[in-house]
Amino acid sequence: MSTVAIAGAGPVGLTAALVLARRGVEVTVLEQGSALASESRASTFHPPTLEMLRDLGVTPDLMREGLVARTFQYRERGGDPVATLDLGVLSEDTEFPFRVQCEQSKLTPILLDALPGSAQVRFGHTVEGVSAESGGLRVATSRGAVHCEWLIGADGAHSAVRRGIGADFEGSTYPERFLVASVDEELDAVLPGIALINYVFDPQEWLVMLRTPDHWRVLLPTPAGTADDLELRRLPERLAGVADLGRPWRIAHASLYHVHERVTPRFRDGRVLLMGDAAHVNNPLGGLGMNSGIHDAVRMAHALADVLAGAPDDVLEQAARRRRTVAVEHVQRTSRANWSRLRTHDAEYRRGLRELAADPVAARAYLRRACLMDSLETT
């Protein structure tokens, strides 16, 4: 019998496990994979996330693995920067007035290593369902039942925990797919002055270029309904359109994926909590998915530890409600606005961005929202 079982050893499940274990709660993490996932997915850590990970003692290790991005750029396709936003305007708000560029697959081993010996992580355990039993919950897994008092579903967008409690995942799927290529090229040599993070405007073919410690990543929209192999075959030509290297780009890895914008109606159902991608998904523009998931984990796991230590149940109820409000009003709204802006022709909007970049007060307000700092302020 474990006090809290957590489905999923992704960044969200392991953050929740670390918070709870540090608060003295007995935790068991159930992960379907035989090891931590190594796929290239989220790669930006925002200032408030760095603060939360600092409180867990892991930010120094993450920063050793990552790159510090003090600015990011909005650029014109094939042209100069429209505006460079300097996160230094947040220096009175945070110890970390920058973003750290680092793949989420580098964070998860750091979190796993930080877990105290009292926390168990069981790989090869696929959660298949959950039911109530006397004194708690029975979690069915591919290797038999696990008994616990509370269950956290941090098992990603296809969450078995969410399905197990019969919760919907309301929302929509984007009309286009996203194509992400990791390339072994030094883009700063061909696009002088480029920042580590770049959002490039174009109504037809907007793009994002992000530096990670190992690669540059280029994200491009791809029309719905086209065949994967056709899109991947076209990739060299599309990359040549981003910058002509006089030879084919060296592509280390490329993948195509559907983008969804969905949120579950309640992040808490009795003794079951949902967090991270299991509770809400959005487009990756602005890097809000993993960051907001880590915020869910920290805020809801602390609230659960408070309740286990004798605080009123309402502490957890309010935390779960607040995190759903954040998912809808901050994460979904901001990531959708980021997607719309990249497709705009609007010269007025570009002028507004230039003025914003030149005005530290306005830039601070904009960046506080963009990095989810405002979303953490509770009223």
Q: Which contiguous run of DSSP H or E holds residue 256?
A: strand 251-263
Q: Cα separation of 353 and 245, whole Å?
A: 30
Q: Does 327 bind ligand FAD (CB under 6 A)?
A: no
Give the chain's end-to-end CA distance (angstroms, integer): 37
Q: Which of 4, 5, 6, 9 binds ligand FAD (CB under 6 A)?
A: 9
Q: Cα separation of 67 and 316, whole Å?
A: 35
Nearer to ligand FAD, 63 or 161 (CB): 161
Amino acid at 325: T
Q: Does 183 bind ligand FAD (CB under 6 A)?
A: no
Q: Cα separation of 373 and 48, whole Å?
A: 6
Q: Which range binds ligand FAD by CB under 6 A, 91-99, 195-203, 223-231, 277-285?
A: 277-285
Cβ of residue 154: shortest distance to ligand FAD, in angstroms?
5
Q: Cα separation of 181 and 238, whole Å?
A: 11
CA 365, chain centre distance (Å):
22
DSSP code per residue over 210-229: EE-SS-EEEEEEEETT--HH
Nearer to ligand FAD, 258 or 351 (CB): 258
The residues with which 7 forms a beta bridge, in sequence order, are: 30, 153
Counting every residue written for the chain, the total comes to 379
Q: Which of 284, 300, 339, 363 binds ligand FAD (CB under 6 A)?
A: 284
Nearer to ligand FAD, 43 or 182 (CB): 43
Q: Which of 167, 290, 300, 353 binds ligand FAD (CB under 6 A)?
A: 290
Q: Does 302 bind ligand FAD (CB under 6 A)?
A: no
Q: Does 167 bind ligand FAD (CB under 6 A)?
A: no
Q: Which range binds ligand FAD by CB under 6 A, 17-25, 36-44, 313-321, 323-331?
A: 36-44
Q: Which residues bind ligand FAD (CB under 6 A)?
A: 7-13, 30-33, 37, 41-43, 104, 126-127, 154-156, 160, 257, 276-278, 284, 287-290, 293
